[in-house]
Chains A and B, each alone.
Chain A
């Protein structure tokens, strides 16, 4: 039996290349549902997820709302504490209590970009303040004119020119796309090696999405590793080398982006791809493959079986009993589904 982590690990060969990677191993995150003193109820937002992010590469995580994508990213920045599992930055456990990496040291390596460009900048501060803070914290040797120059250079780097004018503006004076560029500049200003992009383009106008994606692509070419969280499987293929599909806290299919999107094996991935509207395809009554009326399950530590069983068109008895093992369908393409193993 191959566990998810072993399958992933064997493929990227962790042992000799430990620098400049983020590894997530069997991550489990539970949230309390109530505030009871005894017998507190927990829901399992992330269950046994493993992944690796390498510098200069992008890993896309695709899935619907509530599938635990953002929770994984937030665990990597220590906003959430993992219930179980291991998070490693360059081979070092980031939650190890004996040898704790300080939040600043972690922040210097890992930064986040958020979904809402209107909520991610403080409305009472200028753009200059937003960029000064990360530089002051992480590059304390810069001051005065050097600091200002570095800040302006960072703004230019994300395409916000003239930078000196932009720096004096307040967030409400910028458009959504410009704000998202400021958010990217803020993440870059720390000199971060990894950027966790939590649906960075889903709230932007369609016409400026590609600009932001291409900007992130340039950053990737400069050696920054991305975790790209999205609903949109099409942009995942466009931007990311590898793609993982999550459903209710489980990674159900992962591998090379082209393989996952061109030859989807898991019924859920197939459903996601069928949901992408194509130019030229007419609407018909069969355009949606999701005919199930079942709810998305609330996963707890007692839940068993495959989380997708309730909605799956290929469901069988065994799907209700245990989570399927990992099947390797191609060189870099893994699926957890009983329909394939049979």
Chain B
């Protein structure tokens, strides 16, 4: 089990990499707290359990909303839906972007022309207005429809970036060498090209994740989502419509906002570390530690003399 290459890879990835550890811890904490919301939070998210706008206290860790609902419970339960939307939108986007971008870049010619004209059409869709119109047209849309809309309308940027990177890598000599060696096209794409793109693919995926989280929150904040479902966006919507800031109930607004910010920050930290996989030159931590140890040894020797 411990000798599995993936485990070894993870070991190499996290060793001495503070940003990666911190980012992963934040993401893991947020995800697991949302996943086990019903175990952690003692109150129901949609039940009136307190008086309106109670400040944070021992019983209500993060205070209560105007209608007397426990914010701690809401932010955990809301995270389930918000994160699900963010991750599924980002997964849809990344899959389409990688498929379109690499095919266009690697195969070139007619394939490239067709895929890029399709991409350019999607690229000029104004996204937020489209989301607003679609959301308004369908009526108050559920989170999964929002995820689909975001996923299907925001892959074009990623596809173009991946295509241009693929074009740059495609003409590198190691790809020619693999072709000369008789490697299959699919192996060249997935084993030789894709690992080189991992930082922009994962970076794009995480960027889209943050974007989808924001877009969903934005739509719901504007009142275009289904306000009966608890998400970080609808929490902001209710806080705004109940003028939480004006009446001094800052916790009502800050908590869902902070949840979005903390999760986005965790993703960004992890994203920085993932750059080092596709560009091992960035990984200097290990060497610096070795040099420091060697320097300390030399010093100790001198002191002993």
Contacts and interface: CB of A to CB of B under 8 A. Distances in A.
27 contacts: A79-B176, A103-B179, A104-B182, A106-B182, A107-B182, A110-B180, A112-B180, A114-B177, A115-B173, A116-B173, A119-B173, A120-B172, A120-B173, A122-B192, A122-B195, A122-B196, A123-B278, A124-B195, A124-B278, A124-B280, A133-B183, A137-B182, A137-B183, A138-B182, A170-B280, A183-B177, A186-B177
Nearest to B171: A119
B163 to A, nearest CB: 17
Nearest to A115: B173
Contact of B172 (A77, A119, A138): A119
B178 interface: yes
Interface string B252-296: 000000000000000000000000011111000000000000000
A67 interface: no
A111 interface: yes
A280 to B, nearest CB: 37
Given A77-B180, A114-B177, 15 more contacts: A103-B182, A107-B181, A108-B182, A115-B173, A119-B172, A120-B172, A121-B174, A122-B174, A122-B192, A124-B198, A124-B280, A133-B178, A133-B183, A138-B182, A170-B280
Interface size bucket, A side? 20 to 34
Main SS of the interface on chain B? helix
A158 B195 CA distance: 28
Contacts of B172: 119-120
A111 B195 contact: no
B178 A112 contact: no
A111 B277 CA distance: 29
Interface string B164-200: 0000000011101111111100000000100110100
B173 A123 contact: no
A124 B176 contact: no
B279 A107 contact: no
Given A107-B181, A133-B178, A114 B173 contact: yes
A87 B23 CA distance: 57
Interface of A: 74, 77, 79, 102-104, 106-108, 110-112, 114-116, 119-125, 133-134, 137-138, 170, 172, 183, 186, 190
A203 to B, nearest CB: 11
A111 B174 contact: no
Interface string B195-219: 1101000000000000000000000
B189 to A, nearest CB: 13
Nearest to A172: B281
Given A115-B173, A116-B173, A119-B174, A124 B277 contact: yes
Interface string B225-241: 00000000000000000
B180 A111 contact: yes
A102 B198 CA distance: 31
A291 B57 CA distance: 90
A112 B182 contact: no
B173 A107 contact: no
Contacts of B279: 123
